[in-house]
């Protein structure tokens, strides 16, 4: 079990970095193509890429330091203490000790839909938010599995990792939008001197390439960003098993939360990816299979079952969870 467990964690981390590397390469290609198309030289690529990364970075810094407070406020989360939620605080403290991280702040969201999320830029500035529905519908072992998962996000610096990938994806979108607007307003027309010089052939090729990348790169980078998020969910699941040494509580929690039909009203597109399971149900208009932020629940459970040597779910049990996130 230990070998399988550590192998799974290593694979999930490796996949995350490979996907992040793809976004970096895509950013570089787009910046070079646009820079050459606009300025006709490689030095133009450096300027365009640098400006996009600068603006994207400034926006990310604001969300990095103030995003957790905003998310908690938008979600209607209220901080709790030992008097108001003693069992919850006890479980979170157990998982924090197991993860070797400081005790995070704990918040409750008054909503009957069971779910939870973690936020914060590092373990010293972390918070976990749990819905009242989660406390009412899960037993202690299941709650431990969920808290182990959320504190694993904190320990694995998933917020920081997601922020870096988000900066790159935002920079790609910024560059693409700039170039397409520049082209629309006639910025791509070359002067007669450029045409007569005969040196604009390569620039014209890069101009076409830049247009194609400007259309496709934002979509591709967004899909990769979602894939990164799904890999971090797999990583947090495996890490939760490491902390609790009880995969069955996490497995039951996944099945119970994903199968619950109640809608989490406070969730939105900006916070969707943060939750333990996808807060958007398949029957909602908010749901989107193409831009899925979470792995399929059945896949998550079967990966957990690999750690125990149990057979993958099939038949009626698998059918019940099929299509759920």
Annotated active-site residue 79? The verdict is: no
Report d(CA 30, CA 45) in Å as an integer. Answer: 9
Report d(CA 298, CA 296) in Å as an integer. Answer: 5
Sheet bearing 105-109, strands edge to edge? 77-79, 105-109, 127-131, 116-119
Instruction: Evaluate whether 235 touches 12 at the Cβ level (below 8 Å).
Output: yes
User: Where does residue 314 fall: left (phi above 0), alpha (psi -120 to 50 degrees), or beta otherwise?
Assistant: beta
Report d(CA 167, CA 233) in Å as an integer. Answer: 20
Q: Which DSSP letter does residue 279 get?
A: S
Instruction: Evaluate whether 144 touches 249 at the Cβ level (below 8 Å).
Output: yes
Partners of 77 in beta bridges: 109
Give every CB contact of residue 222 below 8 A, 6+ residues apart in sequence: 169, 291
Question: How many other CB atoms sit within 10 Å of the CB of residue 199?
Answer: 10
Q: Which DSSP letter does residue 122 get?
A: S
Report d(CA 12, CA 303) in Å as an integer. Answer: 11
Q: Select which of 142, 150, 251, 325 is catalytic.
A: 150
Q: What is the CA radius of gyration of the chain?
A: 23
Structure tokens at 287: 């749901």
Report d(CA 269, CA 273) in Å as an integer. Answer: 8
Catalytic residue positions?
Answer: 150
């Amino acid at each position: 079990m230990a070998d399988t467990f550590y192998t799974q964690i290593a694979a999930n981390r490796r996949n995350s970095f490979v996907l992040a590397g793809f976004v970096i390469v895509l950013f570089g290609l787009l910046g070079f193509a646009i820079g050459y198309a606009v300025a006709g030289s490689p030095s133009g690529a450096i300027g365009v890429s640098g400006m996009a990364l600068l603006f994207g970075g400034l926006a990310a810094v604001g969300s990095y330091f103030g995003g957790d407070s905003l998310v908690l406020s938008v979600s209607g989360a209220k901080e709790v203490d030992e008097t108001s939620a003693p069992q919850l605080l006890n479980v979170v403290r157990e998982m924090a000790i197991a993860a070797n991280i400081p005790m995070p702040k704990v918040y409750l969201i008054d909503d009957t839909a069971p779910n939870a999320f973690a936020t914060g830029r590092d373990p010293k500035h972390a918070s976990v938010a749990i819905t009242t529905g989660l406390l009412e519908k899960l037993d202690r072992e299941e709650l431990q599995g969920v808290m182990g998962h959320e504190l694993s996000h904190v320990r694995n610096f998933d917020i920081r990792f997601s922020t870096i990938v988000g900066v790159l994806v935002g920079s790609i979108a910024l560059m693409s939008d700039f170039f397409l607007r520049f082209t629309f307003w006639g910025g791509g027309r070359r002067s007669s001197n450029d045409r007569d010089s005969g040196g604009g052939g390569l620039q014209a090729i890069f101009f076409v390439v830049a247009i194609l990348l400007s259309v496709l790169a934002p979509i591709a980078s967004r899909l990769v960003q979602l894939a990164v998020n799904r890999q971090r969910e797999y990583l947090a699941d495996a890490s939760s098993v490491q902390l609790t040494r009880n995969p069955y509580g996490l497995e039951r929690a996944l099945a119970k939360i994903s199968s619950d039909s109640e809608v989490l009203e406070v969730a939105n597109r900006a916070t969707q990816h943060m939750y333990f399971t996808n807060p958007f149900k398949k029957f909602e208009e908010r749901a989107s299979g193409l831009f899925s932020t979470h792995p399929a629940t059945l896949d998550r459970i079967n990966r957990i079952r690999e750690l125990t040597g149990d057979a993958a779910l099939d038949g009626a049990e698998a059918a019940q969870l099929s299509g759920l996130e």
